[in-house]
Amino acid sequence: PDDLPPCTDLTAQALLDPVPAGLRSDLLLQRPDIMAAEHMLRAANASIGAARAAFFPAISLTADAGVISAEASNLFDGDSGSWLFAPTLRLPIFTGGRLSAQLDLAEVRKEIAVTRYEQAIQTAFRETADALAGIRTFGEQLQAEELGLQANQTYYALARERYDQGVDSYLVVLDAQRSLYRARQSVVVIRLARLVNRVNLYKVLGGGWQERS
């Protein structure tokens, strides 16, 4: 149809800003699930400041080139993937009810609003860590695929030249051409995966990495 926009290369436009180093974990507080969990805490007479101090890791999410920081990686066990952050109650979370002024973590965790808050935080950090890890993973994969593409381009050009000189048959050219097409397709697949991962990172951060007032 005439009203469709023109086709563009996946690398021809910056769909999202580069991910900066030093992203603070406070960005995750804009996620709808964490905001909803904090709303439940407020309804249960809880101090959000005290709850964040106890359960929310205040760390840097990214290192250089926007890849996941060591602080964020260390929140999870490398083998099992289990959550390693140990909350500490320094201030009472609840200001009313049976848990008023309670500093016993086990008792505070019996409150369903606290349990859901912890779960929301763990989910947020896990999803963010996965998306940030993908920046390095897909970047390395793309680099390898692009090197493979260059090698296939060279091989195809050489096959054409040898065919034109009568050294090799056209079957060699066709084989080189098929390899080149596969290499191009692999590069496109990885580029698309990088873009999908970038969009997912935007989503799991609650709407991007620009801090909101």
Cα(195)–Cα(203) distance, rounded to whole angstroms?
Answer: 12
The answer to whether residues 66 and 135 touch, using CB atoms and an 8 Å cutoff, is: yes
The confidence score (pLDDT) of residue 4 equals 46
The pTM for the full model equals: 0.83
**CATH for 124:** 1.20.1600.10
Per-residue pLDDT tens digits of the chain, which is 213 residues long: 445 455 455 554 555 667 889 999 999 999 999 999 999 999 988 899 999 999 999 999 999 888 899 999 999 998 898 999 999 888 888 877 666 666 788 888 888 999 999 999 999 999 999 999 999 999 999 999 999 999 999 999 999 999 999 999 999 999 999 999 999 999 999 999 999 999 999 999 998 877 554
Q: Give the chain's domain count.
A: 1
Any domain includes 20 = no
pLDDT tens, residue by residue, 33-69? 999 999 999 998 889 999 999 999 999 999 988 889 9
- In this structure, is residue 145 part of a structural domain? yes
Domain that holds residue 95: 25-204
Confirm whether 114 is domain-assigned.
Answer: yes
- ∠ CA 184-189-191, rounded to 5°: 95
* 211 falls within a domain: no
Residues forming beta bridges with residue 59, ordered by sequence position:
none
Q: What is the pLDDT of residue 11?
A: 54
Question: Rounded to whole angstroms, how far apart are CA atoms 102 and 48?
Answer: 15
Structure confidence by residue, pLDDT tens digits, 131-151: 999 999 999 999 999 999 999
The whole-number pLDDT of residue 35 equals: 97
Residue 19 lies in a domain: no
Nearest to 21 by CA among 59, 58, 62: 62
